[in-house]
Structure 1
Amino acid sequence: MLIGYARTSTTDQEASFEAQQEELRKAGCEKVYREQVSAVAKERPQLDKALGHLRPGDVLVVTKLDRLARSVEHLIALVRQIEASGASLRILGLGLDTATPTGRLMLTMLGAVAEFERSLMLERQRVGIEKAKGEGKYKGRKPTARAKSAQVMDLKAQGVGPAEIARRLGIGRASVYRILGRRLASGDTRAAQE
């Protein structure tokens, strides 16, 4: 059985997402698992489901290597997991199939090149940021949670819990706790009210 996996990092990539799914269907995938989550996310539930669905003789199909793995180590771990279930991996964009020794070798080499390219890109980004900071042009990301401190405190005073405050304001729960803790440390008694 051919089982497809489609992924984009954000919901803004809708065209790419649909194109992947169409390509997987054309390749003959009977089941396509799909999700819109960053490759570096710790949890990718749909990938986990796809891997759990694999049986001996099945093939996990992706359109591109970067849709599946975030690093060479991750790629190798995924390939081991796929092969442990008796299945193989096929990457359509590369014409690569791990069912063959050549396919496994090429996959490892391509994964190493992809990781190297990403490292170079991150290094160029760091250099650019340092240069911009030196020229006074880089200010960093505007702190969104701190700007909502008053709203956090008002909601807390109304008896709203930290998780609900975070959800309502669109900030992280850790940010809510940080704001509440900062206010407590400064002697703001409103933060102590439960």
Structure 2
Amino acid sequence: MIGYARVSSSGQSLEVQRDQLLAAGCTRIFEEKRSGLSQDGREQLALALDYVRDGDVLIVTRLDRLARSITDLRQIIDRLTAKEVGFRALQQGDLDTSTSNGRLMLNMLGAFAEFEADLRRERQREGIAKAQAKGVYKGRKPTVPVDEVRKLKAEGMAPTEIAKRLNVGRASVYRALAA
């Protein structure tokens, strides 16, 4: 039994998932703090998928810990199936992806997870639009002090040097200069 735990941000804890996976009998747990919107950049997921072998079972606490899109979910499950690895999501009951019913249920739950993520994004966009209309939301604060960048540029410093001095990316310097 191999576990995979994921939270979306560094401020969240993996402890609850870790405890559930250990209680389910996982002997190895791959953990990461990354967005689950896609498989890109999820190094621990990639390592877990490479690690599992014929006869293993990959376990997650909830389906949305593995994937938030039906496309990613299908790709991951297809990869596990090709390696003859089972899959379980603890909070969605015992899904058996080797049966027709299990595959149907997995696809339905994956579709609901994707739908839920879409609704969350829509609500977030609506909230931002309302806040902008009221003048409350101005967007993210600049990561670079615009006045400082302009001052250094006026003193003749090149954007690359400014970026090094302020410990920011050169693109951030160019954005600050364009603002």
TM range (shorter): 0.7 to 0.9
CA apart distance, 1:149: 2.6
Q: Which residue of 2 aligns with 1:127?
A: 126
Instruction: Write out aligned runs for 1:1-194 (5 A).
Output: 2-14=1-13, 17-40=14-37, 42-95=40-93, 96-147=95-146, 149=149, 165=164, 169=167, 171-172=168-169, 174-176=171-173, 178=174, 182=177
Question: Which TM-score applies when normalising by structure 2?
Answer: 0.82
Counterpart amino acid of residue 71 in structure 1: S
Counterpart amino acid of residue 88 in structure 1: G
CA apart distance, 1:78: 0.8
Q: Could you list the per-position Cα deviations for residues 130-154 of structure 1 after superposition, in whole angstroms to 9, with x for gaps in the alignment? A: 2222222221111112546369869
Identity of aligned residues (%): 46
TM-aligned CA distance change 1:76 to 1:137, over 3 Å = same
TM-aligned CA distance change 1:173 to 1:160, over 3 Å = closer
> Runs in 1 of length 4+ with deviation above 6 angstroms?
150-154
Gaps of 5+ in 2: none
TM-aligned CA distance change 1:110 to 1:151, over 3 Å = farther
Q: CA RMSD in A?
A: 2.8
**How far apart are the structure 1 equivalents of 2:169 and 2:11?**
21
**How far apart are the structure 2 equivalents of 1:105 and 1:174?**
46
Aligned-partner SS, 1:142: coil
Q: Could you list the per-position Cα deviations for residues 70-114 of structure 1 after superposition, in whole angstroms to 9, with x for gaps in the alignment? A: 311111111111111111211001112323322211111011111
Counterpart amino acid of residue 75 in structure 2: A
| Count of residues in correspondence between the two structures | 172
Counterpart amino acid of residue 149 in structure 1: V
Gaps of 5+ in 1: 184-194
**How far apart are the structure 2 equivalents of 1:102 and 1:48?**
27
TM-aligned CA distance change 1:139 to 1:54, over 3 Å = same
Counterpart amino acid of residue 46 in structure 1: Q
**How far apart are the structure 2 equivalents of 1:62 and 1:152?**
51
Question: Which TM-score applies when normalising by structure 1?
Answer: 0.76
Whether the aligned pair in 2 keeps the contact of 1:91 and 1:97 (CA below 8 Å) is no
**How far apart are the structure 1 equivalents of 2:85 and 2:9?**
29
